[in-house]
A and B are shown apart, each in its own frame.
Chain A
Amino acid sequence: MIIKQLSVFLENRAGRLTELTGILADNDINISAFSIADTADFGILRMITGKPELAEKVLKENGFAVKITDVICLIIPHKPGGLHRSLQILSDNGISIDYMYAFATSEDRATVVIRTDESKRAIEVLQMHKLELLKAGDVYQL
């Protein structure tokens, strides 16, 4: 249930992101989900890719600062209140979210990537409430 997310430090500099996507393409690595947190000087790119270990290796070889972070991927119905219900559960259980981002995987389902310091407990409580989570095998294939 724990998914490996790649985080990459990026300077705000033209063409830098293209270099990164090029390296992944050359190594036949698919990007499933993707988000950028940006500040005035730098950005942190977070993404879920296929073959995360390989992705980490080739990016490091190309001089990127890369880090693998554990996240969970929660499937929610693609309709009003879908996200709210899951967040309410986490909040009721005192689990705080460091950051999150979402992507729609089909017309009726969306996936939310959630980073928390308490991944295991988050998985427990979400499953207890019968919410669906992506498995590592599923997500890298998306």
Chain B
Amino acid sequence: MIWNEYHECMDREQLAKLQGQRLRDMVERIYFNVPFYRNRLQELGIEPGDIRSIDDLKKLPFTTKQDLRDNYPFGLFAVPQQDVVRFHASSGTTGKSTVVGYTHNDIMMWSEVVARSLTMAGVTKNDIVQVAYGYGLFTGGLGLHYGAEKVGASVIPISGGNTKKQLQLMEDFGSTAIACTPSYAAFLGEAIVEEKIDRSRIKLRAGIFGAEPWTEEMRSEIEKLLGLKAFDIYGLSEVIGPGVSMECACQKGMHVFEDHFIPEIIDPVTCEVLPYGELGELVFTTVTKEALPLLRYRTRDLTRLHADWCECGRTLVRMEKCVGRSDDMLIIRGVNVFPSQVESVLLEMSETRPHYLLVVDRENNLDTLEVQVEVEDQFFSDEVKELEGLRKRIQSNLASTLGLHAAVRLVEPGTIERSMGKAQRVIDKRKLK
């Protein structure tokens, strides 16, 4: 089943034409509506009329997360606030969130790409979809929700967590599809085993998993535990949220919805555009988005694009699972974490100094984050309750900045290695190969 055969199976030349047209319109919109982009383009001597086809994309400047941060909260919006119908936000590097906005049309477009994604996983109006992604500022929950409703499926908007309830509704309502992070899917699978739930009462057929890196081993484990076929979905809030690309039944990479998001792979150092098949940083231009159109947005995700024929019939390019990042961002339980956020929390507290180490691991399929903080002579109290109090204060400040629970461990001064130049701030023990 293909949700939108016209766009998903378009002749590639015809698609390039459509992309060129949409790019031209987009550049005109941002030139006249976003002072930031107008200045950037003027600096490069580019007028909207200079952009005639998709080949002109490479002349245009890049946008980075730093640009979003510098223009926090609404500086890059291309529409007046009264046209914005929704905000989402993801954590930023310095405690300030990256804010994204959507017009009514943006929400319609987003629902459309998620509907295409769900259709790839075989979801139809006959399905009961349990959306166990978090609802709220995070795009996962509402993104999948709207897409599933567009398909006509019956949605259970249960959001993340509350495993007992998840399992109960899964059984009682007979959920046939579930959307959540892969680590939570594995966790649910193990809970089914632990709770000795009668497997014949679990009706799941398809799982739509994303928002964090996972491996083929995890896929087969989840498929075995939950008795479903697991599909990989990709997205980031800056571009739209989940539904930027999605795996079809052939599972040879994720088809990028190129009529809305034009992908490029660049060399992260030279910024030169690389041909299909080469590994580099993924860049997106959101040609149809109204509220927050982004020109050549650098995702920092490292991957490859492939344009060869896919048996599913879709002509859209496929991206591989991301193999890493070109910056130091970590994805922990679906939440973006930058080591610099931890640093800013410690700097803001008068009783700590920024000597820290992040230890990321995966226990029982759930990511864990431990932050080791050195106890400084001058802040060292010899009373357990004082030190425990300090530990808890760091823990709660981290939780509110990161949006994620991190276990804080106090360590002796000087035990965290200080190397010349860039300090090692992260030990990631998760095996994702």
A residues sitting closer than 8 Å to B (CB atoms) are 5, 7, 9-11, 16, 37, 39, 41-42, 44, 46, 60, 63-67, 69, 98-99, 115
Contact = CB atoms under 8 A, between A and B. Distances in A.
Contact of A44 (B376, B382, B411, B415): B382
B394 to A, nearest CB: 13
A67 B387 CA distance: 13
Interface in B372-387: 375-377, 380-384, 387
Given A10-B412, A11-B412, A67 B380 contact: yes
Contacts, number: 52
B414 interface: yes
Secondary structure dominating the interface of B: loop
27 contacts: A5-B382, A7-B380, A9-B410, A10-B412, A11-B411, A37-B384, A39-B384, A39-B387, A39-B388, A41-B410, A42-B375, A42-B410, A42-B411, A44-B384, A44-B387, A46-B382, A60-B377, A63-B414, A64-B412, A65-B375, A65-B376, A65-B412, A67-B377, A67-B380, A67-B381, A98-B383, A99-B383
A42 B377 contact: no
Given A9-B375, A44-B387, A63 B412 contact: yes
A67 B382 CA distance: 7
B375 to A, nearest CB: 5
Given A42-B387, A44-B387, A7 B382 contact: yes
Contacts of B411: 11, 42
Output the residue of A9, A39, A66, A69 with the most chain B CB within 10 A. Answer: A9
Contacts of A69: 382
A46 B409 CA distance: 20
User: Which 9 A-B residue pairs are closest in the complex by CB-CB distance?
Assistant: A7-B382, A63-B414, A65-B380, A65-B375, A9-B375, A37-B384, A41-B409, A65-B413, A65-B377
Contacts of B410: 9, 41-42
Interface string B376-420: 110011111001100000000000000000000111111100000
A99 B386 CA distance: 13
Contacts of B388: 39
A7 B256 CA distance: 60
Contacts of B412: 9-11, 16, 63-65
Interface string B348-389: 000000000000000000000000000111001111100110
B346 to A, nearest CB: 16
A66 B387 CA distance: 14
Contacts of A115: 382
Contacts of B380: 7, 9, 65-67
A20 B410 CA distance: 18
A78 B306 CA distance: 83
Contacts of B414: 63
B416 to A, nearest CB: 11
A41 B415 CA distance: 14
A73 B409 CA distance: 33
A88 B414 CA distance: 43
B356 to A, nearest CB: 15
